[in-house]
Amino acid sequence: MLWGKTSGQKLGAAVIELDNLGYNYGGGELLSGVSVKLAPGSFHFLTGPSGAGKTTLLKLCYGALTPTSGRVRAFNMDVKGLDRDQMALLRRRVGVVHQDCRFLDHLPVIENIALPLTVSGRDLGQEEANLRELLNWVGLADRSDALPPELSGGERQRAALARSVILSPDVIIADEPTGNVDWEMSQRLLQLLVELNRMGKTILVATHDLSLIRAAKNQVQARVLRIWDRQLHLAGADL
């Protein structure tokens, strides 16, 4: 299971660290004084009301947005100091699952899942067994040649999850991965994320689905972070 490996790199206290982060949007302050450390192998949920800035916070973590103030450190590197090529390399170490999945609709599922391998210059012929194993793991072995528009919501999310782990990243960030799927499928996706966490991956999941968080608490030790009034809080037992 090559995609389940961790990098083995000696990491500091945190794989991703947000330090007193602020982000302004549309003339207003969306996030302010946000500080958090994601330890290696930890599992975090990020919750909060719609429009609170969950997706923004995730994007700040993998460098898709630049903070207005404060600092983002990933793998002991200041993200702000990375050039464009270094940023691309950082993104190979952070697997991202978007709510809308973002596939290339002209490529079949297997090629979409293999996209991180393709762009990093790997020979897909040598990765075939690894790819098939991953498709089996997410339950899409019989859908490998389908085009993304032909997939159901749950299949799309599983394919997106498979794509996010194909390069065996250290961190997996998922934005509302269960937003468009039924309860049964959300439990299956949760199970896959828990399995990845048990392999040593750091997981950060943004969700407004509190039942998902409750279900996860039975399977994994997860911290729940809540964005409220522009700031990040550690959620209590009321969840």
Partner 1 sequence: MSSDSFAGHLKTLIIGDVQADRVVPPSGFTAQLTLFAAGAMAFLAVFALALSLASGRLADRWADELARAATLRINAPAEQRAAQTEAALKILRQTPGVASARAFTADEQAALLAPWFGAGVPLDALPVPQLIEVIEDDPGYDATGLRLRLQAEVPGAVLDDHTRWREPLVEAAHSLRLLAVVSILLIAGAMGAMITLAANAALAANAQVIEVLRLVGAQDGYIAQAFIRRFTLRALSGAAVGMAFGMLGVWLMPAASDEGGFLTGLGFQGFGWLLPLAIPLLGALVAYVATTRAAKKRLGDLT
User: What is the C-alpha separation between 93 and 115, in angstroms, rounded?
Assistant: 14
Nearer to partner 1, 66 or 152 (CB): 66
Q: Using CB under 8 A, pick the residue from 24, 66, 76, 152 that binds partner 1.
A: 66
User: What is the C-alpha separation between 9 and 16, in angstroms, rounded?
Assistant: 14
| Interacting span for partner 1 (CB under 8 A) from 32-40, 57-65, 134-142, 190-198 | 57-65
Q: Tell me if 58 sits within 8 A of 99, measured CB to CB.
A: no
Q: Using CB under 8 A, pick the residue from 119, 152, 233, 239 that binds partner 1.
A: 119
Q: Tell me if 201 sits within 8 A of 26, measured CB to CB.
A: no
116 counts as binding partner 1 under rule CB under 8 A: yes
CB of 180 to partner 1, least distance (A): 18
Identity at 128, one-letter amino acid code: E
146 counts as binding partner 1 under rule CB under 8 A: no
Nearer to partner 1, 121 or 236 (CB): 121
71 counts as binding partner 1 under rule CB under 8 A: no
13 counts as binding partner 1 under rule CB under 8 A: no
11 counts as binding partner 1 under rule CB under 8 A: no
User: What is the C-alpha separation between 132 and 110, in angstroms, rounded?
Assistant: 9
Buried b (16+ CB within 10 A) or exposed e, 195-232: ebbeeebbbbbbbbbeebbebbeebeebebbbbeebeb
107 counts as binding partner 1 under rule CB under 8 A: yes
126 counts as binding partner 1 under rule CB under 8 A: no
